[in-house]
Structure 1
Amino acid sequence: MSHTPGGRARVALTAAAAVSLALLVPGSAGAAAGTPTVPTDLYNALRACSTDPNAPLFVGNGVEVEGITHHTDPSVTRVTAQFRYWPVADPTQVSTVDRPYAIPGDEAATRLSSLADDTTYAWQMRTVDPANGAGSDWTASCYLTVDSTPPSAAPIVTTPGYPDEQWYPGGAPIEVRIDPNGATDVAGYQFSWRGDFPVPTADIGPHGIPTYHGVYDDPESAVRADSLGAPATLHLTPPAGWSSGPLQLMVRSLDRAGHPSPITNRMIFVLSTSPTVTSLTAPQFGRPVTLRLTPDAGTQAISPVVSYTVHNLRTYQDTVVPAGPDGTAETTLLLKDPDGERLEVTSTSANGWKSSNARWSAILDTTPTITSTDYPEYEPAGGVGVAGTFHLAPKVDGSLIASWTYSFGWGTEQTVPAGPNGEADFVHTPTASGWTDMEVWATTRDGIRLASGYYTFVVN
C-alpha cells in the first residue's frame, strides 16, 4: 500500500454503544423488582470487546477486562461483578473471578492472569447481588487472543530515492519502503523523525467508559501493513523545522497485540531546502521591520511554495504567512524585545514538503549613552560635596522613552522622567571619594525595561 500522512487525526471509538447493545443477553421479561441485570459496555485492554470468535482482539498477558454492572433497585450501591473465562479450544477449563464492591452504573474491572500465549479465550460477565446471591444472566462471550511475543526481527527500511550515504536534493515526499524482515506476525509499523513513538491511550469518560486512541489513529506516526506479515510503503515529508543535514528516520514493527520490534535507524541525506530571509528595513527597537521570504529555487521548481511558518524563538509563537504565485512573501514584525529577536522560518510546498529552517536575528542595542563633563568616565574629577550633572540619551527612538532609572554602587534606585526626545539630566553630589559605579536603564511608554548601561568615574 502507499500511504501519505496528512494532518494529525484522532479517531474516537464511536461504535462502543452499538457493541454494548449487541452484548446484552435478554433476561426474563417479567423479572421482579430488586434484581441484578446483565452488564453492559464490555471492554478489554480499553477496547470494546469482540463478540466474533473469528475476529478476536489480540492482547498481552494479564489483560484487564471490564463492564458496567446494573441493578433494578436504585438503593443498591454495591454489587459483585463476576467474570468467567476459558480457552475456546477447551470450554471445560473455566476460571471465575469476583470483583466485589462494584458500583452499579460504573465500570468494574478485573485482570485475567496466567493466560497461555498464542491461545484464544472467551470471557463473560454478570452482576451478582451479594445480599442474596442472585445473579443476572451472563453477557454474550467476548473473544481475545493472547500474544506475549514481540516481532522476531527489526524491519528493513529502504529509501529508493535516497541511496545510502548520498546527498540528494529535497522538495518531494520521500518514498520509504518497510519490510517485516521475515517476521510473520507484523500488523503494522511505527515511524518517527525524533525518536519518540506514541503509545495507545484512552480518555476515561462518564461511568468509567473508555474511548480508545490507537497508534494507527495518527497517520503521521504509524501505518498498517498491507496484510499480516506484509510490507508497507510511505511517502513522508521531513518534520517541521528540521535543520539542514542528514535526517534520521526510526522505524519499528508492531504485532497485533501492539508489541514492538527492535528499532531500525535509517539515515536520509537531504540537501538544504531552506528559504532566504531578507530585511527590507533596518531593524530598530520599537519599530516594525519588513522581512521578505524567498523560497529555495530547487524546492520551488519541484512544487510551488504556498506558505511560510515563522517561529519566534523567544515567544515560541508561530505565524503562518501565505506565499504569492512566485513563492515569495513579506511579513512585518514589531521589534519589542530589548534583547532583539530570533526567528526560524520554514516553507511549505503544495505537495506537503516542509523545508529545512532558515534563521534570522536582530541584535538590538538598547543600552543608554551616559556622559558627564563634571565627572568624565574613568577619570578623577570633582570631589566630595561637588555636584555633577549626568546626561542620559537613548540609542533607540527617543519618543518611546518614558523615564530613566539609575543607582550608584547598586544602591537605592532613583527615577527621573524623560524629555520629549527621550533624554534626561540629573545631578549627583558624591559623598565619598574613590571609584564609583553607576547603572542606568530606560523604561518605555509601554512599560518595557530596556538594557542596562554602566558608567564608572573617580571622585577626587
Structure 2
Amino acid sequence: MTTILAVRARAAVAAGLTLGLALLGAAPASAVGGTPVTPTELFNDLQACSTDQNAPVYTSGRGGVQLEGIAGSTDTGVSWVDEQFQLWPVADPTQLITGSDLYAFPGNEASVTLGNGALTDGRTYAWQARTVDAGGTASAWTAPCYLAVDNTFPSQAPTVTSANYPQGQADQGGAPIQLSFGANGVSDVVGYEYSWDGEFGVIGGAVMGPHGIPQYQDPFGPDARFTVRADALGGSGSVSLLPPGNSRYLRLTVRSLDRALNWSPPTVYTVYIKPDFPAVVRQGHSPQFGKPAPFKLTADPGVQAASPVVSFTVQHWNGQTQSTETVPASGNGTAVVTETLDGAYGDRLLVSTTSANGWVSSQAWWDNGYLDTSPTVTSDVYPENGSGGGVGVPGAFTFTPKINGADVASYTYSVNWGAPVTVQAGAHGVAQVSWTPDQSDWYDLEVYATTKDGVQLAPYDYYFAVN
C-alpha cells in the first residue's frame, strides 16, 4: 500500500486546565533554561488526534492506547524534558489515568501507552499532554484530543454479489468482475478488504517521518490495494476486478472493517469462468527438427467481443530452455507467430491473450508430443544387449541421427560413466568411433548428439558385454 500522509489537527495551546484535574508532579529533566513549550504533533495509535468531541478517533483499546507528541523548550540547549500525558473518560473526568516520558527529546515524538486493560468498550476518552522542565515549570496543557474505544468485532460477514459474474454458473470471461459488498446490517462498517488467496495482510499502521512523526497509512486511501471504502457508515462498497493469473476457478474472500479496523467473519465468493483460451493451430506440414514453423493464433470469440485482444503472450518450452514473447494482435484478434521446434524431447507452446481492458485469458497448450532425438548406435563386434569381441579386441561403434543429419554437428559419448569424449559428425550427421576393452564385463555406452545451433539432444544408452 502506498503511504498516504494522514490529515493532522495541530492542537491549540490551552490557557490552563479548567476541568478541575490535579496537576501531575514534575520529573527529572536536563538543566533549567528557557520556557517549556506545549507539545505539538499529537497522535493517538499513530493517527492524528481529533479536537472535536463529536468526531473522535476510533481505536481498539485492548492493549491500551499509545499517545504521543513533540515536547519542546525555548532553550535549544536543553537535552531532554518530561512530557506528561493524562487520559480520562469524557463521561467521568475523575477516572484520570496518567503517564509520562521522563526523557523526551525536544523536537522529537515521545510516547506513552495508557489504559492497558482499563479502557471500556464503547466509551469516548479525552487526553492531553504538556512539557515540564527540570525546575518543575510546566507548559500549558494541550487542548483535549478525543478517541473512542471500540473492541467489538462486526458480528456479521459481509454480503457479496456480482451483476455480471453470479455464483452457481459458468460465466463468459473477458470483462472485469463487478462486485458489490454490503455490511449485512452492521451499522459501523467503514470499508471492506478482499483477497484472492484467502490471506489478509496488516492494514493501517504508519511509517515514521522526520522527528518520528507518524505518517498514517489510510487503509481506504486512493492508492490502497485490496480495500474499498463504504459509501456511508454501514454502507456498501463496489469494485471492478480482473482475475489474477490464469486460473478460471476463482475464490474471493471478503471481510468488512469498522472504524477501529476490527474485522468481520469472512465471506467467500466463487466465480467459474468458461474456458477462454485462444486457438493455436500449426500451419502447413510437420516441419523438420530445428526448422521454423508458423502458428496461427486466434482469440476466444467471447473474450474478443468483450474487449478487443491487443496481444498474445507465447511461452515456448523445449525441455531445456524457456522463452517468452509478446505478439501484437490484428484488429480481428488473430496473429501469426513463427517458432523453431528444437526440443530434445519435443516442444510445448503456452499461449494466452491480453485484452484492451487488461483481461488475461487462460493459457492454450500446444505440443508436438514426444520426439525421440537420441542417436541410433550400432556395432558389428559388440552387438546391443549381447556379447562379443574380447579383451583387447577393438570394436567400431557407429552413431546415426534420427533427425535431419545435416543439423548434427557432433556426438559426445562415455563408457561406464567415464570421461566424456566428443567427436565431430561427418556426412549426413554420421560418426564412427573405435573402442577397445581391457576386461570382460557389461558396459554402458551413453551417447548424445549436439546440433549446429548448439542444442543438446536426447542421450541413448547402448548396453553390451565383452567376452
TM-score normalised to structure 2 length: 0.76
Task: Find the counterpart in structure 2 of residue 435 from structure 1.
Answer: 442
**Change beyond 3 A, Cα 1:66–1:182:** same
Task: Find the counterpart in structure 2 of residue 357 from structure 1.
Answer: 363
CA distance in 1, matches of 2:208, 2:453: 46
Task: Find the counterpart in structure 2 of residue 216 from structure 1.
Answer: 220
Task: Find the counterpart in structure 2 of residue 413 from structure 1.
Answer: 419
* C-alpha contact 2:376 2:402 (8 A) present in aligned 1: no
Alignment of 1:54-453 (within 5 A): 54-61=54-61, 62=63, 63-70=65-72, 79-104=81-106, 106-112=108-114, 113=116, 114-129=118-133, 132-133=135-136, 135-200=138-203, 202-205=206-209, 207-217=211-221, 221-243=226-248, 246-280=249-283, 291-310=295-314, 320-331=326-337, 344-361=350-367, 368-373=374-379, 374-392=381-399, 404-410=411-417, 412-416=418-422, 418-419=424-425, 425-441=432-448, 451-453=458-460
Greater mean alpha carbon deviation, residues 172-181 or residues 65-74: 65-74
* C-alpha contact 1:416 1:424 (8 A) present in aligned 2: no
CA distance in 2, matches of 1:79, 1:335: 76
* C-alpha contact 2:86 2:129 (8 A) present in aligned 1: yes
Per-residue deviation, residues 392-426 of structure 1 (Å, max 9, x unmatched): 4666787887765443333x323325458876544
Task: Find the counterpart in structure 2 of residue 7 from structure 1.
Answer: none
The aligned amino acid for 1:382 is G
Measured after TM superposition, the shift of residue 355 of structure 1 is 2.8
Per-residue deviation, residues 300-319 of structure 1 (Å, max 9, x unmatched): 12332233445679999875
Per-residue deviation, residues 210-233 of structure 1 (Å, max 9, x unmatched): 444344246652222221112233
Specify the SS of the correspondent of 2:170.
Answer: coil
Task: Find the counterpart in structure 1 of residue 44 from structure 2.
Answer: 44
CA distance in 1, matches of 2:212, 2:295: 52
Specify the SS of the correspondent of 2:333.
Answer: coil
Measured after TM superposition, the shift of residue 151 of structure 1 is 0.9
**Change beyond 3 A, Cα 1:219–1:211:** closer
Greater mean alpha carbon deviation, residues 99-108 or residues 232-241: 99-108
Q: CA RMSD in A?
A: 4.1
CA distance in 2, matches of 1:60, 1:438: 73
Measured after TM superposition, the shift of residue 153 of structure 1 is 0.7
CA distance in 2, matches of 1:285, 1:75: 82
Task: Find the counterpart in structure 2 of residue 12 from structure 1.
Answer: 3
Per-residue deviation, residues 92-140 of structure 1 (Å, max 9, x unmatched): 43322223445555543433323221222233344555x5555555445
Specify the SS of the correspondent of 2:302.
Answer: helix
Measured after TM superposition, the shift of residue 371 of structure 1 is 1.5
Measured after TM superposition, the shift of residue 149 of structure 1 is 0.8
**Change beyond 3 A, Cα 1:280–1:219:** farther
* C-alpha contact 1:57 1:144 (8 A) present in aligned 2: yes
**Change beyond 3 A, Cα 1:452–1:300:** same
**Change beyond 3 A, Cα 1:285–1:158:** same
The aligned amino acid for 1:427 is S
Specify the SS of the correspondent of 1:301.
Answer: helix
* C-alpha contact 1:285 1:366 (8 A) present in aligned 2: no
Specify the SS of the correspondent of 1:216.
Answer: coil
CA distance in 2, matches of 1:36, 1:50: 23
* C-alpha contact 1:285 1:338 (8 A) present in aligned 2: no
Measured after TM superposition, the shift of residue 166 of structure 1 is 2.7
Task: Find the counterpart in structure 1 of residue 25 from structure 2.
Answer: none
Identity %, equivalent residues: 47
CA distance in 2, matches of 1:137, 1:398: 94
Greater mean alpha carbon deviation, residues 75-84 or residues 169-178: 75-84
Greater mean alpha carbon deviation, residues 367-376 or residues 355-364: 355-364
* C-alpha contact 1:41 1:67 (8 A) present in aligned 2: yes
**Change beyond 3 A, Cα 1:110–1:376:** farther
**Change beyond 3 A, Cα 1:417–1:110:** farther
Specify the SS of the correspondent of 1:66.
Answer: strand
Measured after TM superposition, the shift of residue 435 of structure 1 is 1.6
* C-alpha contact 2:33 2:78 (8 A) present in aligned 1: no
**Change beyond 3 A, Cα 1:255–1:385:** same
Aligned residues: 440
Per-residue deviation, residues 1-28 of structure 1 (Å, max 9, x unmatched): xxxxxxxxx4432356xx37x347499x
**Unmatched tracts of structure 2, length 5 or more:** 16-31
The aligned amino acid for 1:293 is L
Task: Find the counterpart in structure 1 of residue 26 from structure 2.
Answer: none
CA distance in 2, matches of 1:35, 1:397: 93
Measured after TM superposition, the shift of residue 326 of structure 1 is 1.1
TM-score normalised to structure 1 length: 0.77
Higher Cα Rg: structure 1 or 2?
2
CA distance in 2, matches of 1:24, 1:72: 18
CA distance in 1, matches of 2:323, 2:48: 40
Per-residue deviation, residues 239-262 of structure 1 (Å, max 9, x unmatched): 33123xx43332221111111111
Greater mean alpha carbon deviation, residues 215-224 or residues 362-371: 362-371
The aligned amino acid for 2:91 is A
CA distance in 1, matches of 2:108, 2:406: 66
The aligned amino acid for 1:254 is L
CA distance in 2, matches of 1:286, 1:125: 78
Greater mean alpha carbon deviation, residues 110-119 or residues 351-360: 351-360
Task: Find the counterpart in structure 1 of residue 19 from structure 2.
Answer: none
CA distance in 1, matches of 2:376, 2:147: 79
